[in-house]
Structure 1
Amino acid sequence: MNTFSFLTAAALLFLAVQRQSLAGSATWSNNPSSGVWNTAANWMPSTVPNDTSDIATFGTSNMTDVINTDGIVNLDSLLFDPGAAQYTINAYYNIALYGTGIVNNSGTMQSFVAVGAFLFNNGATAGNMTHFSNVGGYVSFNDSFSAGSTTIDLSDNMYQASVVFFDSSTAANATMNVSGGAYVSLEDNATGGNATFTISGVSFLGIVENATADHASATCIGGTQYYGAGIFFQGFGSAGEGTFTAVGASSSGEKGAFLDFSGSATAASGTFVIGGGLGAGLAATTLTFFDTTTAAAANITAKGGVGGSDGGAIIFTDKAKGGTASINLNGNAELDLSTHSAPGATIGSLAGNGLVFLGARLLTIGSNNQSTTFSGVIQDTGGVAKSGIGTLTLSGANLYSGSTTVSKGVLVVANKRGSATGTGSVNVNAGTLGGKGMISGPVTIGTGTGSGAILAPSVGSKQPLTLSLTNALTLKADSTYTWQLSTKNAQADEVIAKGVTIESGAQFALQTVANKKLSTGAVFPSSATPPRVRSAAPLPTWPTVPPSPPGVML
């Protein structure tokens, strides 16, 4: 009996000693026998920190290359004391943090290499002045983790390196450089914080499920001959107020970078710069909205290509929405609706001098109520509609053959050649049409029973202008022709049309500028039409409005 009690006590003592040597908070020795984490003799006291409540502390040491070579290490935190040496912590297996995370008080950069994995849980943080090299390994941030201001470099070997943010974790102020087939993913309700992401080669940044980029900035650069670097938004992923830049190819055979929205993802209030090719014949970049995604209130700029290369392209396909997004096309950059579902898409505003491909769809412009000028070319068989209270100025020679409809705000034509509104009809159901440009299709002002539509050549101008129509003009019963008269030089607005029809009830409103007194007997020729509407064809039809005499004397 005594022999049994002795053996039992001895066994329990052995287990206690064994447990102490394998777990407990400890400090890395200043003179360890090796760099192996899992050797108890390398710690003070002689125990390997390996419990979710353990703290592994690092101070001065003559061995600063520390390697976890055997199984998962669980810790509360990694603590670097003031004045600690510069360490490299290598996770050949997993190192998981469950408490404070990494606390760096050393004043020097601490390095971490993920060949296996670093796992951050609960409220653990990656700390400040920390640098992660992920070579085919895995880093995950879980729960309410913060990446702090760490720097993470991801690159591939035979395995795909990855960093994933789960739950409500945040990339905070981290800097992440992703290359060689690696990827970073924000998932669940994770946020990008104010992080900076650089994606190059065949590498990716994904913002999926309910994650948001928050205020992060991300740049994707070029690619390989097979794939471009990419940023994709899936599920209900959001661009937040982030900034995203896609850089075109810089060498022959290289694919351009891309940004894709799919599912019900949103560009939110993000800023996007979509680049063209960086030299002759080089690939440009794309921003594509698929499915039922939305550009929301984003600010999107597409740049032209260098040396004749393709410009950046903004593509709306399926049932994607343009929301109130501001779109600016420079050089030969493109906006493409040709694969969108009928009837078409609405965007907030259009500016710049690029190219718009309608296909057979309708592009509605103006939902953000901004005033913009577009001097590029709109083409194909689709049409254009003007909405919102802002002013859209078209100063290019457009080629689309569908109709142009104004339902609100102001459409100004300011082209010097061709037709600002393509070859189709122009219908001003409400709002105002004006400008000194040229229109080739028939123009109808009002609907006859609407709330009122206005024809005003000099709208937004301080001097009278002439609007030239190479087709017929019809002023419906609910229309108003507002003409401006300069009393300083006795000049007035003028509309030249090939045939004019004025329905009963149409109104004419005179606006004077300069506040000068006209001399007695001033004459304003009107070519036998009401004030300053001149027909280039035989006399127009007057249902009930009598024609003016050859001259109007004021």
Structure 2
Amino acid sequence: MGRTNGLAGWFGRGDITNNGTLYLDRGGSLVCSNGFFGSGTVNLRYGLDLAVSDCFSSNGTWHLAHGAITLTNGAAFCVYNELTIGNRDNVGYGSMDSYNSYAVKLTNVVATFTVTDGCLLQVKSMTFGNGGDLSGGTMTGILNQAGGIVRTTGTTAEGNGVRLGHYPQTRSFYNMMGGTLIVGQDYDLGCATDGIGWFNMTGGEVFAKRVMLNERTGGGGYGRLTVAGGTLNLGSLTGSDLAISNGIAVDAGGPYLVELGGAGGTIRAVTNVTVFLDAALNGVGAEAIHFDPAGWEITVSGNLTGDGGLNKTGTGTLTLSGNNTYAGPTRVLQGRLVRGAYAALPDMGEVLFGVTPDDAGGRLHADGDLALEGLVVGVANPEALDKSKHYTIATWGGGLISGFSGSVLPAPWFVYYDWPNKRAQLRAETGTMLWLR
């Protein structure tokens, strides 16, 4: 449809059945309410800005090579094979069409797919950046999810349902701003293979068994994950509980960057989850990252650095075991926090506990001996303190090796070490008041 880089017509009303190969080669912008059906392939190659509005499609394969597609007004766009975004290899560049027009192979392609509120994008898998190297070339692939639902149902390769940063010249971005992304069938949300990929989450909700930052051991790819808003649900949706495949991981030696917090954001467990990677923490208080085991266990074995802090929320256990040097406070609002290594909580870092009227707030815990040395105790919500109550902030199964090294508790509160009951509590100093007349 259309000629290379030209402005031409469009289909009439009604659905389109495509069982072969359909080339959308015109440029410009238009609104489409046609549904695309059939087992064929659709290639959008030369910069068309296509708004798909208020229609349903179910087609075999879509290659958004160079141009833009926006789903709007409740459009449902189903691709039961693969969707590629930013593609030089699979779209017939360099060949002759039926009009003897030469399909110019573009050195630089930019492809943007946008999903708006109320729309559906469902694909078997999606890949960002297909094509061998060209001198001076770049393949830029972008998916902007402002709302709606994006769902993958299978895998493209290497176990990825979403595959950012495929070929070396790829620069790819998934901007998760709203709506829901579901990476189905326990496949990975992959950030990089041989190219550069960034999953940038500032809102919405994501369900994925694992975020894989880089599929290459020491290769040229570079994967980046930012969680600065929304909720990232990690873990198998089918019951698999293998630690290596539930969480955030990388092939050994693969370059990556993980950034957590800055404008909030939550990592929530769907089953027991392990975060193997180092991460930079941004933001403090409510702006810091929230770890919510949701009744399961989250283990963070990577090193946590940066100016930010973290929040432990929800039931279940968060275990920190890296060599952590982050500067912000650790807020234990609900459930248990386990100091899996002495350096897991930064030296003289503030540990602020959430208190509740029923003494169900967060607490530090050790099944064996507990050491509180090097920690500064405080309260995350001092406005909730009631002098008539006691608040448990630490428990242990063995012995208490050492108490807190410092305090930022408001007066008249102090830490009471209840040795017989193996717990530490916040209590208020009380005394006798004398009235002089």
* 2:226 counterpart (305, 310, 315): 315
Counterpart position of 2:40: 150
The alpha carbon displacement at 1:380 in A equals: 1.0
CA contact (8 A) 2:351 2:376 kept: no
CA contact (8 A) 1:231 1:259 kept: yes
Q: 1:228/1:505 Cα in 2 relative to 1: closer, same or farther (>3 Å)?
A: same
* 1:497 counterpart (399, 402, 408): 402
Q: Is 1:335 equivalent to 2:220 in the alignment?
A: no
> Once the two structures are superposed, what CA deviation does each residue of 1:349-403 show, in whole Å capped at 9, x if it has no partner?
4732112212344111117554222211211121111111132222212121211
Q: Which has the higher strand share?
A: 2
* 1:424 counterpart (346, 349, 355): 349
* 1:134 counterpart (9, 12, 24): 24
Counterpart position of 2:120: 212
> Once the two structures are superposed, what CA deviation does each residue of 1:267-320 show, in whole Å capped at 9, x if it has no partner?
443466233353xxxx5310123xxx5231432614235316564112245xxx
CA contact (8 A) 1:471 1:497 kept: no
Residue 248 of structure 1 aligns to a residue in which SS?
A: coil
Residue 37 of structure 2 aligns to a residue in which SS?
A: coil
Q: 1:378/1:472 Cα in 2 relative to 1: closer, same or farther (>3 Å)?
A: closer
- One-letter code aligned to 2:223: G
* 1:258 counterpart (169, 173, 187): 173
CA contact (8 A) 2:294 2:314 kept: yes
* 1:288 counterpart (187, 200, 204): 200
* 2:282 counterpart (359, 374, 386): 359
Q: 1:428/1:306 Cα in 2 relative to 1: closer, same or farther (>3 Å)?
A: same
Q: Is 1:387 equivalent to 2:387 in the alignment?
A: no
Q: 1:177/1:403 Cα in 2 relative to 1: closer, same or farther (>3 Å)?
A: same
The alpha carbon displacement at 1:168 in A equals: 2.6
Residue 113 of structure 2 aligns to a residue in which SS?
A: strand
Distance 2:45 2:217 in 1: 30
> Once the two structures are superposed, what CA deviation does each residue of 1:495-524 show, in whole Å capped at 9, x if it has no partner?
3115689x899685xxxxxxxxxxxxxxxx
TM-score by length of 1: 0.53
Distance 1:483 1:316 in 2: 33
Q: 1:402/1:384 Cα in 2 relative to 1: closer, same or farther (>3 Å)?
A: same
Q: Is 1:410 equivalent to 2:322 in the alignment?
A: no
Q: Percent same amino acid at aligned positions?
A: 19
Counterpart position of 2:213: 303
Which structure 2 residues correspond to residues 469-488 of structure 1 after superposition, within 5 A?
Answer: 469-471=372-374, 477-479=390-392, 482-484=395-397
Q: Please report the RMSD computed on the Cα atoms of aligned residues, expressed in angstroms.
A: 4.3
Distance 1:422 1:191 in 2: 52
Residue 196 of structure 2 aligns to a residue in which SS?
A: coil
Bigger RCO of structures 1 and 2 (CA < 8 A, at least 6 apart)? 2
Q: 1:248/1:418 Cα in 2 relative to 1: closer, same or farther (>3 Å)?
A: same
CA contact (8 A) 1:115 1:134 kept: no
The alpha carbon displacement at 1:140 in A equals: 7.8
Distance 1:135 1:412 in 2: 58
* 2:63 counterpart (154, 171, 177): 177
> Once the two structures are superposed, what CA deviation does each residue of 1:3-62 show, in whole Å capped at 9, x if it has no partner?
xxxxxxxxxxxxxxxxxxxxxxxxxxxxxxxxxxxxxxxxxxxxxxxxxxxxxxxxxxxx
The alpha carbon displacement at 1:175 in A equals: 0.6
Counterpart position of 2:98: none
Counterpart position of 2:303: 377
User: Highest CA radius of gyration, 1 or 2?
Assistant: 1
Q: 1:377/1:275 Cα in 2 relative to 1: closer, same or farther (>3 Å)?
A: same
Q: 1:306/1:146 Cα in 2 relative to 1: closer, same or farther (>3 Å)?
A: same
Gapped regions of structure 1 (runs ≥ 5): 1-90, 94-113, 431-446, 459-464, 485-492, 509-528, 535-540, 545-554
Residue 173 of structure 1 aligns to a residue in which SS?
A: strand
The alpha carbon displacement at 1:242 in A equals: 6.4
- One-letter code aligned to 1:266: G
- One-letter code aligned to 1:288: N
Q: Is 1:246 equivalent to 2:163 in the alignment?
A: yes
Q: Is 1:274 equivalent to 2:190 in the alignment?
A: yes
Residue 418 of structure 1 aligns to a residue in which SS?
A: helix
Counterpart position of 2:326: 400
Which structure 2 residues correspond to residues 428-447 of structure 1 after superposition, within 5 A?
Answer: 428-429=353-354
CA contact (8 A) 1:220 1:247 kept: yes
Distance 1:337 1:143 in 2: 40
The alpha carbon displacement at 1:216 in A equals: 5.1
Residue 400 of structure 2 aligns to a residue in which SS?
A: strand
Q: 1:467/1:227 Cα in 2 relative to 1: closer, same or farther (>3 Å)?
A: farther
The alpha carbon displacement at 1:191 in A equals: 1.5
Distance 2:111 2:376 in 1: 55
Distance 1:235 1:171 in 2: 20
Counterpart position of 1:193: 78
CA contact (8 A) 1:336 1:358 kept: yes
Counterpart position of 2:94: none
> Once the two structures are superposed, what CA deviation does each residue of 1:222-241 show, in whole Å capped at 9, x if it has no partner?
68756543232255454256
The alpha carbon displacement at 1:220 in A equals: 0.7
